[in-house]
């Protein structure tokens, strides 16, 4: 049950609704979505209680949604939602814009970041990516620069004006990562780390939620439900490939999941063609296919010296390859009614 408060609801009126729900044993939480304050409960109340809430001062309407997918489903929000990252001069996921995020898989050094960022900005990327904390399959693999990597990311944000997204891997790091980035990424290995989801849901930052490598679409959407239940309505889903028997590619990119997720949820959905294919020659074709099937953006690995990369260099595009991809991507996006999003911070508009 979701009580949507009116735009002019007072703090006292919101508190009264919370008290009413607590009196009957429910544990409501406060959320924000599309500029409205939500009072959310995990269960529906008896008809007489629902009537009391619906008619309480400050309540605009009551939304009753059956099933576990309450906030992420189209029963709650039939129209596509838009997620703004980096303020009014940043990027917007959803609508007719198509957002391309680019950068290295891992932050390695200042010189590396300067070279990669200069390259992707010149090609028209709308956001920057880079991992400071890297959850790796092997404990002997490069685990990221940690806090020092966050500082390098923040430096690039200041230098370019572009918003940045980076992964957070533990609940204890959420606050620090949120201070240094514009968007938090929950990676495939942490999609069902419910403690992390709850903490990220209260961070005040938009969240990019990658699909788990063995997760069903339902499990993916319910992970997003955790974030929204904690009050965070700014969630972007990311299809990044799932496990299969075929070793020709790193994972299997499930583009049907993009179309199906967009049918089931109002949340924006983007695609990571780098981690899903693991092959630079496949990143371009799969990026075009993602745009054609209705995705809202891309997350792409770019490195100016991939052979020396400390993490996933084998899948990274060079600067020249990324520039070529952006040129090829524009007409495909336009063919399905989308335009590549470019930030106003550079004096640019969507082109």
In the CATH hierarchy, which fold is given to the domain comprising 2-63? Alpha-Beta Plaits (3.30.70)
Nearest to 93 by CA among 43, 37, 165: 165
Alpha carbon distance 102, 124 (integer Å): 10
pLDDT of residue 58: 93
pLDDT of residue 343: 67
On whether the CB atoms of residues 70 and 230 are closer than 8 A, the answer is no
Q: Which residues make Cβ contacts (< 8 Å) with residue 138, sequence separation at least 6?
A: none
**Mind listing the pLDDT tens digit of every residue in the chain (351 residues)?**
899 999 999 999 999 999 999 988 888 888 888 888 999 887 666 788 888 899 999 999 988 876 778 899 998 899 999 999 998 889 999 989 999 999 999 999 999 999 999 999 999 999 999 999 988 788 878 777 899 999 999 999 999 999 999 999 999 999 999 999 999 999 999 999 999 999 999 999 999 999 999 999 999 999 999 999 898 999 999 999 999 998 889 899 999 999 999 999 999 999 999 999 999 999 999 999 999 999 999 999 999 887 877 777 788 999 999 999 999 999 999 999 999 998 664 533 333
Alpha carbon distance 267, 270 (integer Å): 10
Helices (H), 124-202: 147-160, 174-180, 194-201
On whether the CB atoms of residues 240 and 252 are closer than 8 A, the answer is no
DSSP annotation string for 288-311: HHHHHTT-SEEEEEB-TTGGG-SS
Alpha carbon distance 90, 182 (integer Å): 9
Q: Cα 2 vs. chain centroid, distance in angstroms?
A: 23
Q: What is the dihedral of CA 235, 241, 242, 244, to 10 degrees?
A: 170
Please determine whether the domains at 2-63 and 83-346 fall in the same fold group of CATH.
no
Other beta carbons less than 10 A from residue 112's beta carbon = 20
Domain 83-346 grouped into CATH 3.30.310.50: no
Q: Which residues make Cβ contacts (< 8 Å) with residue 235, sequence separation at least 6?
A: 72, 83, 206, 207, 209, 224, 227, 228, 267
pLDDT of residue 344: 63
Alpha carbon distance 49, 198 (integer Å): 28
Q: Where are the domains of the chain?
A: 2-63, 83-346
Handedness of CA 207, 192, 188, 169 (dihedral sign): positive
The owner of tokens 């070793």 is 247
């Amino acid at each position: 049950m979701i009580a949507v408060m009116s735009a002019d609801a007072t703090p006292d009126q919101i508190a009264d609704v919370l008290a009413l729900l607590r009196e009957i044993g429910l544990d409501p939480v406060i959320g924000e979505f599309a500029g409205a304050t939500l009072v959310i409960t995990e269960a529906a109340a008896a008809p007489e209680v629902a009537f009391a809430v619906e008619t309480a001062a400050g309540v605009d309407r009551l939304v009753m949604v059956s099933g576990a997918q309450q906030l992420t489903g189209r029963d709650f929000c039939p129209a596509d939602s838009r997620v703004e990252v980096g303020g009014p001069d940043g990027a917007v996921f959803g609508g007719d814009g198509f957002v391309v995020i680019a950068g290295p898989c891992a932050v390695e050094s200042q010189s590396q970041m300067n070279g990669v960022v200069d390259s992707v900005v010149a090609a028209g990327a709308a956001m920057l990516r880079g991992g400071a904390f890297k959850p790796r399959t092997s404990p002997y693999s490069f685990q990221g620069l940690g806090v020092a990597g966050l500082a390098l990311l923040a430096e690039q944000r200041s230098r370019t004006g572009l918003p940045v997204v980076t992964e957070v891997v533990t609940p204890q790091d959420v606050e620090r990562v949120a201070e240094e980035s514009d968007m938090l990424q929950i990676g495939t290995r942490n999609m069902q780390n419910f403690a992390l989801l709850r903490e990220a849901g209260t961070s005040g930052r938009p969240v990019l939620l990658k699909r788990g490598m063995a997760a069903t679409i339902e499990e993916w959407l319910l992970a997003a439900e955790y974030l929204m239940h904690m009050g965070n309505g700014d969630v972007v889903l990311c299809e990044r490939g799932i496990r299969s028997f075929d070793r020709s590619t790193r994972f299997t990119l499930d583009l049907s999941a993009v179309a199906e997720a967009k049918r089931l949820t109002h949340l924006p959905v983007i695609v990571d063609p780098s981690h899903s294919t693991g092959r630079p020659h496949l990143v371009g074709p799969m990026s075009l296919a993602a745009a054609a099937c209705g995705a809202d953006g891309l997350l792409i690995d770019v490195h100016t010296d991939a052979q020396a990369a400390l993490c996933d260099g084998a899948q990274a595009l060079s600067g020249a390859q990324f520039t070529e991809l952006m040129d090829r991507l524009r007409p495909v996006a336009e063919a399905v009614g989308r335009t590549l999003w470019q930030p106003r911070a550079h004096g640019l508009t969507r082109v």
